Structure 1
Amino acid sequence: MTLIVGWLACDQRGPCSAYIASDSRISDNRNFYDYSQKTFALKNTPDILGYCGETLFTYQILTRLTSMCDVGMLLSADMDYQDRSEIIFNEIKRAHSAYKLNNGIIKIYHIGRNKKRIFDANVYFWNGIIWENIKIHTDFKKSKNLFSDGSGKKEYDENFLRFKNGNNESTSRNYFHCFCDIVKNVKDKHTGGIPQLVGLYNGSKFNGMYHGTIVDGQAYYQGLKMGNVYGMSNIRWYNENFEICDWNTKQREANAMVQPISKKATP
């Protein structure tokens, strides 16, 4: 399984961004691998996705869909969210109809921006018998958790009780603070690795975006440890405090907003 969390960030004008965060572990009952991509961002349309549950089919179809969409297949920039959602859902169902290797539970979460610059979200759910396309409520005026799921969900939800009433109440960073805290200290053996993050913003020029994470002074991209790779300065990097960081120094950028941990976030 995994831990996946999605949330909506709002400012005084309303919803301004949305995020999906996931751990990076895939596992069976004996072994685990902590560097698997679980979040996806479409560069030509305003869509981000992530999953929990069955791994083999889900990773294959999301990788394929992302590649197809990024070269201009399947989706176009003039489609509204509902049209994009239906196409993605139907492609997933079509591919899964020929999949016979296992019958594991699948949940694929999708957040997108519609033509009114409002965020929408759905979960595509294979329950072992049929596929369901379930709408997720997004009509909020304050920052709000949209979903948490996976084998680490119970620990995340319980841990968030320590965060939600602190001085960071109703802030976007509170969800990421809680998420990173759980991934680092989780008891669930199927959750682990490094937090990975994708984001979507209100402006019409923004499509899905991959973000890098800085953990303990080390840079990770889509869960994978990065060396001194060319082009990494083009990526937005966040530390565990949800502060925008400089790729070279691995420290908070000089002009970036400080995002302190809630003072009430400790037992």
Structure 2
Amino acid sequence: MTSIVAWAGVDTRGVSSVYIGSDSRISWGARHTWDQGRKVFACASKPSIFGYWGDVLFPALAIPVLVDRIDKAGISPSGETVINVEQAVRSLWRDYPSKERRDVGIIHAARHGDGMLGKFAISILTYAASSRTWKTTQVNMPHSSSLLRVAGSGAAAVRATHDLWQASSARNTSRAIFSAFCEALRSGNDAHSGGPPQLVGIYRIGAGRMYGVVHNGQRYFAGSHLPGNEIPEGIEWRNELFERIDGHKKQRLVGGQRHSPR
């Protein structure tokens, strides 16, 4: 259960960024929920990010292993990380208890190379318990900023708000996609999606990024609430309109671009 989105930001020179956003709710049946569950991950030294939906246990345990392996892996002459993520997931799954195998999806986004020569790629790995099979799908990169994948129990709610934002002056922008996603979470239309939004991304240069998010006037990082003045160092902050935020003041950065609501 989840609401999860993946999208690409495109400027006049091509794809400039890729993001994965998620909610933070973990559900046990219909009554028990926890709204600080981590669902997105970013490598610290490599341009690679992950998110998941569906069953929680396997991806919550497996993705941190993949992140550590990627961060410590070498780079091939073509600029690709040596580790093959699909093979690594299947290897981890091989001896996973058969009685615990449930539907799960994993989104992996990466950049091969740096700068204008870098190429972005997104892979979707899904396991269907009914057929007991894994499937991997490659996502084509767009020519304008676009929502590339929406999944999870809240997918219909996200698509509905995305359609509304696409009808506004902010259409075909990263801010429209993230704002639509946050609006869908606030609506409460999916009981299994909730809590603060989480966000990771990669740019043309640098490693994966985990963003801090200001939600309902509070700071959150990887889904967890940050009490007091605790501010992780070296991260960017965004609000629900995708504006760049001062993590201390919880206000838009001086000189930062203002984004209007729909």
Give the equivalent residue in structure 2 for 1:142. Answer: 144
1:224 is the counterpart of 2:200: no
**Amino acid paired to 1:192:** G
Aligned residue number for residue 236 of structure 2 = 236
Q: Quote the offset at 1:79 in angstroms.
A: 6.5
Gaps of 5+ in 1: 263-267
Task: Identify the residue that residue 155 of structure 2 maps to in structure 1.
Answer: 153
Q: Which runs of 5+ in 2 are unaligned?
A: none
SS at match of 1:94: helix
TM-score by length of 1: 0.90
Q: 1:132 aligns with which of 131, 135, 145?
A: 135
Q: Distance in 1 between matches of 2:89 and 2:147?
A: 25
Whether 1:10 and 2:7 are equivalent positions in the alignment is no
Question: CA RMSD, aligned part only?
Answer: 1.7
Whether the 8 Å contact between 2:75 and 2:81 is mirrored in structure 1 is no
CA deviation after TM superposition for structure 1 residue 235, in Å: 1.3
**What count of residue pairs does the alignment treat as equivalent?**
255
- Deviation of 1:77 after TM superposition, in Å, equals 3.8
> Following superposition of structure 1 onto structure 2, how do residues 84-233 of structure 1 map, counting pairs within 5 Å?
87-100=84-97, 101-115=99-113, 116-128=117-129, 129-138=132-141, 140-203=142-205, 206-228=206-228, 232-233=232-233
CA distance 1:175–1:62, shift in 2 (3 Å): same
Distance in 1, Cα, partners of 2:147 & 2:80? 21
Please say if residues 70 and 81 of structure 2, whose CA atoms lie closer than 8 Å, have aligned partners that are also in contact.
no
Corresponding position of 1:265: none
Q: What is the Cα deviation at residue 76 of structure 1?
A: 2.2
Give me the TM-score of the superposition, normalised by structure 2.
0.92
CA–CA separation in structure 1 for the residues paired with 2:152 and 2:91? 24
Partner of 1:55: 56
Q: Are the equivalent residues in 2 in contact too, given 1:200–1:207 (CA < 8 A)?
A: yes
Amino acid at match of 1:5: V
The alignment-based identity, stated in percent, is 29
Query: Cα 1:235–1:61, aligned 2, differ >3 Å: closer, same or farther?
Result: same
Q: Hey, what does 2:260 align to over in structure 1?
A: 260
Q: Distance in 1 between matches of 2:80 and 2:14?
A: 21
